Structure 1
Amino acid sequence: MPDGGVGSTVPLRQLGRLMLEWRNRSGLSQARAAELLEMGATSLARIEKAEITRVRTGVIKEACGIYGVPTDIGEGMVQLAQQAKVKNWWHSYADLLPRNLDVYVGLEAAADGCVTYQPELIPGLLQTEAYDRALLSQRWPDAPAEERDRRAQIKKHRQVTTTRKHHPLDLDVVIGQAALHRPVGGPAVMAAQLRHLADSSTRENIAIRILPFEAGFPGGISMLPFVILDFGAPPPGEPTEPSVVYLEGTVGSMYLEDHDDVRFYHSAHDTLRQAALDETASRNLLRRIAKEYAP
């Protein structure tokens, strides 16, 4: 199974920010810039918001000329457009991935670190195949077996980020104790899932802490699930990708990039982590409950 790559999502986001920045510097409205580029304003807006799957390099070159972008920066923008054309593993599952999750998977594959809180569900990157398939069978009960197999493959591909040899994803997880007691797939599946969590927590790049029932509501509020993706320092000469908070919803998801929003969720995670059991105590609890499921 191939390693997760940077993919097209991050280059498109970086390119969109640069297109917006240099259009604003030029003093052109979106409508006027689109007119000069001989394209619709909606199409230009989609480039600036990274709501497309690829951008023609000719459009970028022309925009750089109109906006007065310096040669070296313009060349970098063209390179970003070229990088965005690279096909990655998740493009093979485009028929199964909704747009919001397609964006998330691309960001996750490129991330340097992932901080997440899941109060009632085992995080996807740490789910066993049996646990995942049990959820899939409930969510898509009428789906043919082939489709379920492909959906299960999506999760396997995503999990490569935590086990790849070079720069595996740093995963810092807080899981609510309720997730350990909500049955998914039966006692044997749950026992194997909790043992898998305990074993995974021994890896250097994975930290798992359980928030026990007796911790109540740290910070005085009930936090919904969230994920923070950090991208680390970029190589010299490449643009920085800011951290992003992902909030998954049943009818739509949100991406928060504002610095104050990201800081709030990092602070919330710190509060949850401090209230949770430490890594050793969490591992012991996981193994104990696993034995209760399957003595």
Structure 2
Amino acid sequence: MSRPNRPLRMMLVPVLAMGAFAACGSDSDDASDSASDSISVPADTGDLTGLTVTGDVGSAPKVDISDDFAADGLAYETTVEGDGLQITSDDLSSAFIQYVIVNGNNGKTVYSTYDQDSPEVLDISTDGIPAALSEPLTGQHVGSRVVVTDTVKDIFGSASSTSLNMKNKDPLVLIFDVIGPQADMSDQAFDTEASGWLPGLTLDDDGVPTAMDFTDVPEPTGKLEVDTIIEGDGEAIKKGDTVMANYLGQVYGADDAFDSSFDGTPAAFQIAEGSLIDGWVEGLEGVTVGSRVWLQIPPGKGYGKSGNSSAGIEGDDTLYFVIDILAVSS
């Protein structure tokens, strides 16, 4: 199993570290403070004259830019309003998105997740996230398309202008398709008691799993074991799909987890050989969105004889995972 690097996050990390988003970080904080159960879809703001975006949500958009277009501060418009789950700055703050970044000067695509078939997860509650990302997405429903414009500097900071081969004042166009989450599992309580080969779970004060308890759990079978304890009614995962998921992973008999996303941001993984360990690819195929599944993965379908030293995994370790499937993109 591995967590792939994501271009949008890669562009954000260096400028976040340098504090380049200090000015618009306050805007993001204001958006978080105002979030509530009655949060509304953000109203369109600014002028998008000269910019036309067509196509269906879930497929690469066609972008036409005329001579009338100019980015004059942050502007955004919800061109398609979805009716799925709503992205908030509270429990559902992570959006599963496909997006396209376009040079506003010439209409050329700078980057597209559609080209890479690699949707990403963006947590709009992240400290320091620029207003151009958090403000237009807060309150959106899954199934929406949002068009955002601003300058390179105001979106990504001056440190990113070189990597984009653009000037700080140049206009950028971002088109976000919100494709997930497709299931809200925040109210699905975790079983803390061991059952059969399933270990118990240690939870924090918020009911989030932090570790597994292997007390009285039998020795691993040496085979890939899969147990879906909550079966969702969403789309079934196929090989090649990208899934949005929360997970906790631990070695059999260990006291602590070696990795978890439950206490942070859900992860996006492509279910494909070479992208993940075989146990994930084989174990998750056919699992439906909204499901909670346990995997027991023998070494041969995990990291093999070499193990994974960075995670403290030896070559003969059996891996256990509990996974919540939140969305799938084919």
Q: Would you call these one fold, judging by a TM-score over 0.5?
A: no
More strand by share: 2
TM-score when normalising by structure 2: 0.27
